[in-house]
Amino acid sequence: MTGRISKFNVVSLVFGFAFLYLPILTLVVYSFNASKLVTVWAGFSTVWYRELWHNRGLMEAAWVTLRVGLLSASVATLLGTMAAIALSRYRRFFGRTLMTGMVYAPLVMPEVITGLSLLLFFVAIDMDRGFWTVTLAHISFTMCFVTVVVQSRLLTFDRSLEDAAMDLGATPTVTLFQVTLPLIWPAVAAGWMLAFTLSLDDLVIASFTTGPGATTLPMKIYSQVRLGVTPEINAVCTILIAIVATGVVVTTLLNKRRLVRQARDERLAAGA
């Protein structure tokens, strides 16, 4: 590798980033527009953020989304982690191949089909559609993502650590909570984040499974946009972007700190 950056690389970089981030940048910039017309710039203002605060419909939808996300991500993480441990620990049990296939299927299942089948199921068992049906639907479709993330971590997990714990007198339960979980914790947390994000931005499945009084934020935004884009929508989207970006930056910094600490430990070990 040479230290010099070629013109070609600079151009590729600029075009790449522009392609990815120009639409988002437009949205963020226009959220600070003073004009009510989305496409006409009339000076800087935070008025739409204040308006947003008073828009009961949007705020209620945000609150529903947050509750659905927190609850479904937590339950999905619990179930998904359990499934991942079962699948990677017990190499041979009846129906293992079938179960593995069934865990992965929702990853590639078209959302429309997942949504429709869930709707038909809720109708069949005569369950009133609303907050709980959306939450259940989100648990069912995010769980497999958690399983995939945790299972890939368990693939590289040194099983002799669990053997050692049991050899030292820890029961399987103690081993799980004192050795396995503390070590795969970052993967479990990443699984939770993934599940939460997927739930936060799901429109299709929520539309199928929701009912009166449980409109999620993506549904609200989508329905409002059909009546015309208002700068309020830009504002709410900017806030969502800010939340996601903060999450990404924090994760990156934590990772970086871990790597720095690891490098320091290795130096210490070498010098010891």
Partner 1 sequence: MKSLGSIRRDFAPWLDRGAAPFIRFEGVTKRFGDFEAVDDLSLDVFEKEFFALLGGSGCGKSTLLRMLAGFETPTKGRIVLDGEDLSGIPPYRRPVNMMFQSYALFPHMSVEKNIAFGLRQEGMARSEIADRVGQVLKLVKLEDYARRKPDQLSGGQRQRVALARSLAKRPKVLLLDEPLGALDKKLREETQFELADLQHQLGITFIMVTHDQEEAMTLADRIAVMDRGRIMQVATPAEIYEAPNSRFVADFVGNVNLFEGTVRSVEGDRAVIETDAGLTIAVVSEAKLGTSQKVSYVLRPEKLKIAADPIPGPNAMAGEVWDIAYFGPVTAFHVRLDNGATVKVSMVNATRQGALQLTWHDRAFVQFDEDAGLVLTQ
CB nearer partner 1, residue 176 or residue 203: 176
| Residues 156-175 within binding reach of partner 1 (CB under 8 A) | 158, 160-161, 163-171, 174
**Is 126 a residue that touches partner 1 (CB under 8 A)?**
no
Nearer to partner 1, 20 or 164 (CB): 164
Please give the Cα distance from 83 to 99 (Å, whole number). 9
Q: Is 183 exposed, middle or buried (0-12, 13-18, 19+ CB in 10 A)?
A: middle
CB 255 within 8 A of CB 246: no
Stretch that binds partner 1, among 154-162, 219-227, 235-243, 245-253 (CB under 8 A): 154-162
CB closer to partner 1, 24 vs 168: 168
Q: How far is the CB of 258 from partner 1 (least distance, A)?
A: 11
Nearest to 30 by CA among 12, 45, 17: 45
Residue 229 CB, nearest approach to partner 1 (Å)? 50
In the complex with partner 1, which residue's Cβ is closer, 128 or 265?
A: 265
By CB under 8 A, tell whether 155 contacts partner 1. Answer: no
Burial pattern 105-136, b for ≥16 Cβ within 10 A else e, equals: ebeeeeeeebbeebbeebeeeeeebbbbbbbb
Give yes or no for residue 269 binding partner 1 (CB under 8 A): yes
Quickly list DSSP for 55-92.
Answer: -HHHHHHHHHHHHHHHHHHHHHHHHHHHHHHHHHH-SS
Residue 98 lies near partner 1 (rule: CB under 8 A): no
Nearest to 89 by CA among 141, 145, 150, 174: 150
Shortest Cβ distance from residue 157 to partner 1 (Å)?
Answer: 11
Give yes or no for residue 253 binding partner 1 (CB under 8 A).
Answer: no
For residue 18, give both structure tokens.
């522009």
CB of 185 to partner 1, least distance (A): 9
Asked if 182 touches partner 1 (CB under 8 A), the answer is yes
Nearer to partner 1, 128 or 266 (CB): 266
Radius of gyration over every alpha carbon of the chain, rounded to an integer in angstroms = 23
**Looking at the DSSP assignment, which residues form a beta bridge with residue 185?**
none
Contact set with partner 1 (CB under 8 A) = 158, 160-161, 163-171, 174, 178-179, 182-183, 262, 265-266, 268-270, 272
